[in-house]
Structures are given as structure tokens and as C-alpha cells.
Amino acid sequence: MENDYPEPSPEEIDRLYSRLEKEARQGGYNLNSDGEFARGLVKGLLVNERRYGYQACPCRLAADDKIADLDIICPCYYRDADVTEFGACYCALYVSKAVLKGEQKLGSILERRPPKEERQKLQPQPEPQSKSLLSASVAEPRAGPGTLKLSVPVWRCLVCGYLCGRDGPPEICPICKAGKERFERFI
């Protein structure tokens, strides 16, 4: 069992940590205030980026396949629900305000990500051109054009739920920085 990548340097870890910290604050999220703990996870993100080409969740086994792992690129699709229910994401990189203030204690968090077999069932069949968004939950818009008259479609960020009306999803989510491939067509 040898490490198969060069170790990220302390400077690299600091740089990503500072960026995530700033982005979290701007988006209304909080990083774990245990700096050493959080830095350990940030290091894992850098290691995974080297290994797989994307920042897969450090506490989950990545498939080395970006499409199969779209849901566990950090921040993952499960973060917000876990922060709401348990006070922290699965890894505890992100925590709730209550945890930050010490009003809520962190415990072990159950894995919310469905097992591989169920995820495969949820995966939509790839669709032609721009509709192929590889969303893990909804392939078709939730409301059809007959229900609502819209000048542009509505896109939903699968990580944080941000909605916007425009021809295509934004390059990155302005709230949580998820890439456009992690948006679904909502309406």
C-alpha cells in the first residue's frame, strides 16, 4: 500500500483551505473550526484531485469516473441535508452554525449516499446535446412547458439548490461553486 501521488505541500493545503473558507463564508456555509481536522480533509481533496482529476470526497471511495462520482465531488449533493440534519457534512468539513458556536455536538454521521446499485438505477439515460446534464435525480424538467409559460428554462444546482432562469446553466454556481455539469433542468 504505497501512496501513488506526491504529497500536497503545506502551502497548497493552506491555499485551498483559505479559498474554501472564503467561499463558504460568502455562500452562508461554515468550515469546521478545528483547523487541523479541516486541513486534513483539504489535503485529501488535493490528493484526490491528483489521483482522479477532480476533488472527490475524502471520506468516500471514488470510482475514478467523473460521471459516476458527480454526486461526491466536494461539495457533494449530500452536504446541505447532512448539515441540516446532523450539523455537519459526512466528512465534517462543513458544519452548521450551531456546531460552530458549540451549541451542538458532532456525532458519527450515517452515509446518505445510496449504494452503487441504487445510484445506477437513478442515473438518467444520457440524452442528446445540452439536455444531457447527467443529473443523478431528475432527467426531465419537473414542470412541463404546458404547465408554465417561461421565456427561458430554469436550472437548479444539485449541490445547493440555487435556481436561475437562462438558456443554459452558469459555468459555476455563484453560491457553492459547483460546475455546470452539476445542474439539472428544473423547469
> Which positions touch ligand SF4 (CB under 6 A)?
41, 57, 59, 72, 74-76, 79, 89-91, 93-94
* Residue written as grid cell 506526491: 6
Nearer to another protein, 110 or 149 (CB): 110
Partner that binds at residue 159, options ligand SF4, another protein, none, CB closer than 5 to 8 Å by kind: none
Q: Which of 161, 183, 184, 185 is nearest to 172 (CA)?
A: 183
β-strand partners of 179: 172
Report the Cα–Cα distance between both ends of the chain, in Å, rounded: 48
Partner that binds at residue 40, options ligand SF4, another protein, none, CB closer than 5 to 8 Å by kind: another protein
CB of 170 to ligand SF4, least distance (A): 20
CB of 131 to ligand SF4, least distance (A): 26
Q: Is 67 helix (H, G, I), strand (E, B) or coil?
A: coil
Residues 6+ apart with CB under 8 A from 149: none
Nearer to another protein, 62 or 157 (CB): 62
Nearer to ligand SF4, 76 or 157 (CB): 76
Tell me phi and psi for residue 35, to 5 degrees: -60, -40
CB of 109 to ligand SF4, least distance (A): 8
Which cell goes with 167? Answer: 438558456
Q: Which of 6, 176, 174 is nearest to 94 (CA)?
A: 176
Partner that binds at residue 129, options ligand SF4, another protein, none, CB closer than 5 to 8 Å by kind: none
DSSP state of 179: B
Within the chain, what is the greatest distance between any pair of CA atoms? 58
CB of 184 to ligand SF4, least distance (A): 18
Please say whether the beta carbons of 98 and 87 come within 8 A. yes
CB of 37 to another protein, least distance (A): 6
Partner that binds at residue 44, options ligand SF4, another protein, none, CB closer than 5 to 8 Å by kind: another protein
Partner that binds at residue 48, options ligand SF4, another protein, none, CB closer than 5 to 8 Å by kind: another protein
Nearer to another protein, 53 or 161 (CB): 53
